[in-house]
Amino acid sequence: MTLSSSIAKSVGQRIRELRLDAEMSKRELARRARTHPPIISRIEHGVHVPDLWTLAELARALELDVETVLMGLDWREIDAAACAVRVRLEDDGVS
Q: Where are the domains of the chain?
A: 3-91
* Ramachandran sector of residue 23 (left: φ over 0; alpha: ψ -120 to 50; beta: rest): left
Please give the DSSP secondary-structure letter assigned to residue 62.
Answer: T
Using CA atoms, how far apart are residues 11 and 4, in angstroms rounded to an integer? Answer: 10
The tens-digit pLDDT sequence of the chain (95 residues) is 565 777 888 899 999 999 999 999 999 999 999 999 999 999 999 999 899 899 999 999 999 999 888 887 766 766 666 676 666 667 777 65
What is the dotted CATH code of the domain comprising 3-91? 1.10.260.40
CA atoms within 13 A on the CB side of 77: 14
Using CA atoms, how far apart are residues 6 and 65, in angstroms rounded to an integer? Answer: 22
